[in-house]
Amino acid sequence: MLRFALRRALSTVVVLWAISVMVFLIFFGTPGVDPALRIAGRDASPQVVATVRHEYGLDKPLPVRYALMMYHLLIRRDITSYVNPGLKVVPEIASAVPVTLSLVIGAAVIWMLVGLAMGLVGGALRGSPIDPLLTAVGVLGVSLPVYWLGEVVNLITQSRLHGSLFSWVPPPGYVSPAQSLSGWALHLLFPWLTLAVLYAGIYSRVFRAELVTALGEDYVRTARAKGISERRVLFRHAARCSLIPVISLFGLDFGALVGGGALVTEVVFGLPGIGLLTYNSLQTLDLPVIMGTVLYAAFFVVLANAVVDVFYAALDPRVRRA
């Protein structure tokens, strides 16, 4: 198990390095792309562009520029924005990380609890009237766009019914838990619920399908023939094996959301997280910020996949030999 984990850690480092090289080449090595023109401004003279190119090290060979950027981004952590020279990239990302983590972790707890509960009940009671009802609820959750649902929630809680039923709901924004734990939870309550609706529907359907398949396998029939109780068969055998694809899916979703995939939710509810920071940097083509946010996102996606592989190996020892 330790060798498997170390192997996954090494592959994580290699993948992150490859992503950093690829992203750097896309923005700096593509023919015709000159960041100096963007920094100097639209009407800058050739002399000003040449000066900017020299000051930012953009006149050096690509390998040297890549090494310098990674050194200032990852080692010294003093690289600054091209659009706002006084803004340091790493502190800006560090200030946005707690917002995104707070949003995604809270929503993940909700969607896992609700989704797995719905899938478990639907799979255990397949064929009963409850099963199609839960399926319909899951399909409804998957079908509701996050941006539309978020706007509807804001319309109800901030405008239409704010003076009566939802007077306790604070305006969109973010409050650090260090300032006020209750304020932090109140600001994130509806963003959590909005983001969780979609994923709860997805996870309930995936878990139910896997559970129904597992309940028809030979090992489940053998367990029943041995006289094991239906409850133990459901939880100890069928549900445990059905969790493997759910864990894999969760790793991909969690890593993508922490890496900035919750952009729409952050924009709708005014949360200054990684997704919003990435979006703003792409709008202005702020290359150092883009590099930083992309590497941050890649780290969490690759790390989540590595952690999922380790859990997968713990649940199924055959994976360790792969």
Final residue belonging to a domain, choices 50, 76, 102: 76
Beta-bridge partner residues of 88 = 80
Quote the tokens at residue 100.
């995104």
Give pLDDT, residue 194. 93
- For residue 297, CA distances in Å to 54, 300, 304 come to 30, 5, 11
- CA–CA separation, 236 vs 124, rounded Å? 13
Q: How many domains does the chain have?
A: 2
Same domain, 35 and 126: no
Same domain, 292 and 225: yes
Same domain, 101 and 157: yes
Torsion region of 111: left, alpha or beta (phi above 0 gives left; psi -120 to 50 gives alpha) = alpha
Burial code of 250-271, b = ≥16 C-beta within 10 A, e = fewer?
A: bbebbbbbbbbbbbbbbbbbeb
Evaluate whether residue 8 is within a structural domain. Answer: no
Please spell the DSSP secondary structure of 160-201, one letter per residue: ISTTTT-TTPPPSS---TTT-HHHHHHHHHHHHHHHHHHHHH
Give pLDDT, residue 315. 64
Reading the chain (322 residues) residue by residue, the pLDDT tens digits are 667 677 777 888 888 888 888 888 887 776 666 777 777 766 777 788 788 777 777 778 888 888 888 888 888 888 888 777 778 888 888 899 899 999 999 999 999 999 999 998 988 888 788 888 988 988 888 888 888 999 999 999 988 887 778 888 888 889 988 898 999 999 999 999 999 998 999 999 999 988 888 888 777 788 888 787 777 888 777 888 788 888 888 888 888 888 877 888 988 898 898 888 888 888 877 888 888 888 888 888 888 777 777 777 676 666 555 5
CATH number at residue 293: 1.10.3720.10
| DSSP state letter for 126 | T
Same domain, 26 and 131: no
Q: What's 31-77 look like in SS3?
A: CCCCHHHHHHCCCCCHHHHHHHHHHCCCCCCHHHHHHHHHHHHHHCC
CB 206 within 8 A of CB 118: no
Give pLDDT, residue 320. 58
The range of the structural domain enclosing residue 51 comes to 20-76
- CA–CA separation, 256 vs 261, rounded Å? 5
Contacts of 110 (CB under 8 A, 6+ apart): 192, 193, 196, 200
Same domain, 237 and 275: yes
